[in-house]
């Protein structure tokens, strides 16, 4: 079982390396580098997904209707846009010049009907609306025409201060017209004239059933007639726009002071924190000497109380310029910056309070914000319309909703926590209105939100890993994987980012590299012996952990290795074929070889396999090569075939001497020395590389000898002729030997004789040619008679 001591040491080292050096000056580490860290990158407003935005009503938290929050185009916008506020009231006629009193007032089921006399309605009481601005007027008529109109018509007209207007005529209806049981008939009158409240009150509407004569088609039934009057009305309400974003992943620029350390006077630790020993008296707590982080400056001092008020405490500071000697304590005005110094000491005086936390911010972290409020503030209540900025849920500022640009900067160290690596910034804007009903748009826009003070420090700490240990392996095995980075730890660099370097004293034995955080030891082929591997683990700062381990590789006697053969090897039956083979044995020299076929023999000296297959077809030969400890086998596939073997046995030119101008008959004897028929055998005749002729032999059976003749007249200007013949020049016939298909002969040619001798010879030649022509003609007639069909006989 592995000892727990290394693990305990590793845990202790990790705890030490994660502690920030805020509370002392003695530290064995050195600073590798410092950097400025943006602890609120969302303030660039480039990523809308990093913000949670919305809008709600002021009191019910329901979704807002007139307010919208968005992050777009590197702007955070809160837009409050109210439309024109309108209300519609219906005013019903109250009198009838035609005494159609059942049609006055609101619809109630009582009605007046007519098949001829007019129904007039007037008297619209608008006295309750005259203080509002008129926006629109619509006629609302509740009437019915029970039957279809064929010839008769129904007209609706209105009489006003500017005259008379026909509003609607109903004629040739397909069925009844029912605005009593269905929705009332509505007609827009807004644009008819420039209405006044007096005009509307005195309007006279006439509903007239006009009969064409004879039997009436139907009748007009009127229940009520009124005006839908839309006016602009005042209103009030409130909506809240909000946006928030949280950064996570870096320590906040604050450092807590340990109230359990230091010296006290009439002070003691209680459950609530530090408080005076005697109620009603004051006590003091003096902190240990503390220094700012490397290359950083301290900002403001903050404290909180769990009992009593912060106003019941005072803070004094003493400075040290060399980190050793300390000056006199000087009182500090709350929320002011600390003077520059190498080290500081605080003294806190408490009366009737209990201090639970004291901290100092670093680099005076501040939030800078700029933007503008634009549009118009018509109807916006200046007392209740504000926008508030929050950091970690605490109010930083409360600003008025006033039109114009703004730029603010607030220190926020009082709202940060050293034990947290997150920062939340949120904005809430209250849009509260008390409006006469006019439409209005007010927009609050933020263009920059930045938080300063963030910093990063990189320390020079060595990584710590568990030793790998010595390894013993066997030759020809796959090697070994040793976990490394999983068992490492570093104060600043993650395991995935650690760099690993290796040294190897025997690169002919093993190869070492890093694979997915593990040490991979690969054995080289046919190697044994010992190597020492050095391992160096580096962090981003170049600090290193070093280790070494030995690797012993034990030797193994390997079997012979026989290389693969061609997938299918064609050979000829009863013909000896030699196939090259490749083999090696790195460990042995005394080897034997054998096959499973009597007609296949292995010769390891010449690296060959000799076969003389007796049968046609596909055959497999198993080749075995063995040393003293083992064997290796390979299968060889053969296609055994019976092939023709064509060659020109002789060339006869018909004369011992040749003379210029002679006609030469080149007679060739072609033999098939193979084991298969050869069909359509082509024979090419050449003289001095010029074609004389091409002859074809239809069939040559195995062992058969056939002849062909090529005739050619010798030119008068040659002295030497190289006669050449080639059989199967196109290699169209599969043969056992393709190298014996040619024959050639070099012949000297005599010059032609003088003219006299030439005439005599020519006479002789002419006679010979004449006789030859007669014999050839007789032969052709005989051949024709032979190939002609027999005489047809009639069968009774």
How many CB atoms within 10 Å of residue 745? 14
- Among the residue ranges 73-77, 226-230, 448-452, 687-691, the one predicted with the least confidence is 687-691
Indicate whether 758 pLDDT > 50: no
Indicate whether 770 pLDDT > 60: no
pLDDT score of 781: 54
Cβ-based neighbours of 3, under 8 Å, separated by 6 or more: none
Burial label for 415, CB within 10 Å (0-12, 13-18, 19+), is buried
Mean pLDDT of 742-765: 67
**Residues 691 and 667: beta-carbon distance below 8 Å:** no
Instruction: Please give the full DSSP string across 53-103, using - where no structure is assigned.
Output: EEEEETTT-PBPSSEEEEEETTEEEEEEEE---EEEEEEEEEE-TT--GGG
User: Which residues partner with 237 through β-bridges?
Assistant: 433
Indicate whether 657 pLDDT > 90: no
> From CA 542, how far away is CA 746, in angstroms rounded?
87
pLDDT score of 200: 96
pLDDT score of 381: 92
- Write phi, then psi, for 5 (nearest 5 degrees): -60, -45
Burial label for 379, CB within 10 Å (0-12, 13-18, 19+), is buried
Burial label for 493, CB within 10 Å (0-12, 13-18, 19+), is buried
Q: How many residues does the chain have?
A: 796
Indicate whether 20 pLDDT > 50: no
Query: Who wins on pLDDT, 445 or 335?
Result: 445
pLDDT tens sequence across 546-566:
999 999 998 887 788 888 888
pLDDT score of 778: 52
pLDDT score of 777: 55
Indicate whether 596 pLDDT > 60: yes
pLDDT tens sequence across 201-236:
999 999 999 998 888 999 999 999 999 999 999 999
**Residues 546 and 617: beta-carbon distance below 8 Å:** no
pLDDT band at 617 (very low <50, low <70, confident <90, very high): confident
- Among the residue ranges 15-24, 120-129, 289-298, 644-653, the one predicted with the least confidence is 15-24
pLDDT tens sequence across 357-415:
999 999 999 999 999 999 988 899 999 999 999 999 999 999 999 999 999 999 999 99
Indicate whether 774 pLDDT > 90: no
pLDDT score of 461: 84
Indicate whether 237 pLDDT > 90: yes
> From CA 317, how far away is CA 360, in angstroms rounded?
12
Indicate whether 26 pLDDT > 70: no
> Which tokens is 732 given?
């169209």
pLDDT score of 525: 85
Mean pLDDT of 481-486: 94
Task: Kindly state the helix (H) or strand (E) to which residue 786 belongs, with its residue range.
Answer: helix 755-787
pLDDT score of 730: 86
Indicate whether 767 pLDDT > 80: no
3-state SS class at 702: coil
> Which tokens is 467 given?
């030793």
Closest CA to 676 of 650, 640, 629, 625: 640
- Write phi, then psi, for 662 (nearest 5 degrees): -65, 150
pLDDT tens sequence across 676-709:
888 999 999 999 999 989 999 999 999 899 999 9
Task: Kindly state the helix (H) or strand (E) to which residue 544 belongs, with its residue range.
Answer: strand 544-554
Closest CA to 257 of 331, 330, 350, 356: 356
**Residues 210 and 169: beta-carbon distance below 8 Å:** no
> From CA 327, how far away is CA 345, in angstroms rounded?
9
SS3 of 575-630: the string is CCEEEECCEECCCCCCCEEEECCCCEEEECCCCEEEECCCCCEEEEEEEEEECCCC
pLDDT band at 644 (very low <50, low <70, confident <90, very high): confident
Mean pLDDT score of the chain, rounded to an integer? 88
Mean pLDDT of 42-71: 94
């Amino acid at each position: 079982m592995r000892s727990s001591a290394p693990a305990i040491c590793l845990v202790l080292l990790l705890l030490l390396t994660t502690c920030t050096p805020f509370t002392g000056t003695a530290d064995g580490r050195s600073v590798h580098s410092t950097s400025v860290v943006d602890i609120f990158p969302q303030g660039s407003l480039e990523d809308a997904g990093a913000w949670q935005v919305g809008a709600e009503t002021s009191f019910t938290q329901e979704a807002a209707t007139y307010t919208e929050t968005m992050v777009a185009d590197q702007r955070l916008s809160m837009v409050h846009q109210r439309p024109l506020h309108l209300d519609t009231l219906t005013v019903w006629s109250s009198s009838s010049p035609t005494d159609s009193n059942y049609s006055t007032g609101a619809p109630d089921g009582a009605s007046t009907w007519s098949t001829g006399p007019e129904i007039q309605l007037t008297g619209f009481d608008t006295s309750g609306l005259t203080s509002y601005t008129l926006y629109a007027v619509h006629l609302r008529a509740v009437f019915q025409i029970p039957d279809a109109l064929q010839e008769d018509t129904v007209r609706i007209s209105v009489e006003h201060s500017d005259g008379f207007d026909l509003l609607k005529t109903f004629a040739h209806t397909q069925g009844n017209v029912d605005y009593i049981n269905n929705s009332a008939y509505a007609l827009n009158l807004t644009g008819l004239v420039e209405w006044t409240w007096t005009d509307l009150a005195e309007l006279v509407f006439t509903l007239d059933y006009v009969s064409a004569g004879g039997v009436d088609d139907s009748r007009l039934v009127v229940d009520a007639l009124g005006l839908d009057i839309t006016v602009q009305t005042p209103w009030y309400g409130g909506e809240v726009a909000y946006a928030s974003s949280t950064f996570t992943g870096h320590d906040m620029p604050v450092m807590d002071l340990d109230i359990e350390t230091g010296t006290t006077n009439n002070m003691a630790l209680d459950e609530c924190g530090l408080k005076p020993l005697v109620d009603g008296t004051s006590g003091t707590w003096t902190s240990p000497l503390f220094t700012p982080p490397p290359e950083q400056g301290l900002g403001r001092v903050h404290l909180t109380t769990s009992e009593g008020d912060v106003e019941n405490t005072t803070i004094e500071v003493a400075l040290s310029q060399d980190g050793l000697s300390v000056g006199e304590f000087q009182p500090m005005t709350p929320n002011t910056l600390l003077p520059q110094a190498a080290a500081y000491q605080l003294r806190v005086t408490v009366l009737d309070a209990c201090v639970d936390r004291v901290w100092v911010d670093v680099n005076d972290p501040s939030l800078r914000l700029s933007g503008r409020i634009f549009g118009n503030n018509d109807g916006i209540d200046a007392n209740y319309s504000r926008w508030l900025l929050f950091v970690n849920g605490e109010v930083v500022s409360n600003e008025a909703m006033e039109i114009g640009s703004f730029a603010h900067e607030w220190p926020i160290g009082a709202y940060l926590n050293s034990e947290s690596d997150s920062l939340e910034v949120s904005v809430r804007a209250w849009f509260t209105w008390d409006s006469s009903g006019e439409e209005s748009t007010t927009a609050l826009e933020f263009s920059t939100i930045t938080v300063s003070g963030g910093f990063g420090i990189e320390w020079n700490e060595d990584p710590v890993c568990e030793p790998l240990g010595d390894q013993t392996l066997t030759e020809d095995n796959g090697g070994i994987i040793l976990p490394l980075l999983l068992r490492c730890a570093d104060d600043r660099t993650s395991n995935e980012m650690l760099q690993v370097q290796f040294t190897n004293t025997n690169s002919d034995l093993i190869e070492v590299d890093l694979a997915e955080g593990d040490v991979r030891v690969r054995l080289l082929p046919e190697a044994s012996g010992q190597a020492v591997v050095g391992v160096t683990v580096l962090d981003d700062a170049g600090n290193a952990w070093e280790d070494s381990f030995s690797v012993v590789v034990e030797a193994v006697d390997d079997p012979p290795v026989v290389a693969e053969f061609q997938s299918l090897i064609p050979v000829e039956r009863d013909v000896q074929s030699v196939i090259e083979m490749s083999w090696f044995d790195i460990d042995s020299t005394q080897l034997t070889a054998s096959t499973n076929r009597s007609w296949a023999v292995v010769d390891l000296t010449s690296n060959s396999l000799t076969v003389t297959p007796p049968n046609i077809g596909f055959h497999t030969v198993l080749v075995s090569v063995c040393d003293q400890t083992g064997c290796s086998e390979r299968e060889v596939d053969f296609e055994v075939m019976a092939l023709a073997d064509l060659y020109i046995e002789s060339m006869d030119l018909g004369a011992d001497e040749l003379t210029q101008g002679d006609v030469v008959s080149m007679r060739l004897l072609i033999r098939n020395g193979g084991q298969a028929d050869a069909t359509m055998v082509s024979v090419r005749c050449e003289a001095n590389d010029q074609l004389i002729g091409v002859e074809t032999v239809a069939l040559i059976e195995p062992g058969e000898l056939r002849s062909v003749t090529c005739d050619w007249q010798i030119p008068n200007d040659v002295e030497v002729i190289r006669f050449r013949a080639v059989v199967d020049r196109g290699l169209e016939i599969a043969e056992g030997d393709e190298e014996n298909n040619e024959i050639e002969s070099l012949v000297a040619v005599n010059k032609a004789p003088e003219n006299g001798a030439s005439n005599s010879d020519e006479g002789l030649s002419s006679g010979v040619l004449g006789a030859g022509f007669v014999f050839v003609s007789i032969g052709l007639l005989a051949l024709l008679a032979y190939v002609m069909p027999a005489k047809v006989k009639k069968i009774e």
